[in-house]
Amino acid sequence: INFSQARFLTSAPNIRQLPADEGIEVAFAGRSNAGKSSALNALTRQRQLARTSKTPGRTQLINVFTLTESQRLIDLPGYGFAKVPLEIKLKWQKSLGEYLQMRKCLRGLVVLMDIRHPFKDLDQELIHWAVSSNIAVLAVLTKADKLKSGARKKALMQAEEAVPAFGGDVKVITFSSTSKHGLPQLEDTLSQWLNQ
């Protein structure tokens, strides 16, 4: 798959405003600031495709990018950021929950976590939910450039020891949007899911 052909399609405040539930979607989920939008930009070789920000909670809508007519990438709203007003939090958590529960064309879920703080409660809940819904999961430990190679390998080993507890189809990689470390592995898994 040529990921650089990705194009922005729409930002949806709820699932009713998404394109028809057909074809195949792969979604990027994770805590606010985990690096979802940055990973999408690295994957698609487009610096500004998905909007990134130093301010957590930037992505509040469901952002849809098309690859081909039947293949899409989804940038989901981040969760777990405390400083966002409750009203806004509930609104976008609702769209996240609806998307995850209702979207039939969701084929695989990329769960992005900062390599320095992986598997927080909400991350674990999300992975449990995906496994129980028979959705494949790729756990991506982001910002791997923040650790030296030894610490990075240790974090990966610990994560690999943690994932069997979820059961189901859960893989782990380390990744960096800045250095592109892990990009081939991300592409491999996404290509598999999108071509099934």
Task: Summarize as ranges the residues that interact with Mg ion (CB under 5 A).
Answer: 36-37, 58-59
Which of Mg ion, ligand GTP, none has residue 83 at its interface (CB below 5 to 8 Å by kind)? none
Nearer to ligand GTP, 25 or 75 (CB): 75
CB of 165 to Mg ion, least distance (A): 28
DSSP per-residue codes, 127-158: HHHHHHTT-EEEEEEE-GGGS-HHHHHHHHHH
Per CB under 6 A, 109 contacts ligand GTP = no
Q: Which of 18, 78, 96, 159 binds ligand GTP (CB under 6 A)?
A: 78
Per CB under 6 A, 176 contacts ligand GTP = yes
Q: How far apart are CA 193 and CA 24, in angstroms?
A: 8
Q: How far apart are CA 132 and CA 134, in angstroms?
A: 5
3-class state of residue 86 by DSSP: helix
CB of 101 to Mg ion, least distance (A): 21
Per CB under 6 A, 59 contacts ligand GTP = yes
Closest CA to 33 of 120, 91, 137: 120
| Token pair 């910002």: residue | 143
Q: Is residue 39 within 8 Å of 114, Cβ to Cβ?
A: no
Which of Mg ion, ligand GTP, none has residue 91 at its interface (CB below 5 to 8 Å by kind)? none
CB of 73 to ligand GTP, least distance (A): 13
Query: How far apart are the two ends of the chain, measured CA to CA in Å?
Result: 12
Task: Catalog residues that contact ligand GTP under the rule CB under 6 A.
Answer: 30, 32-38, 52-54, 56-59, 78, 142-143, 145-146, 176-178
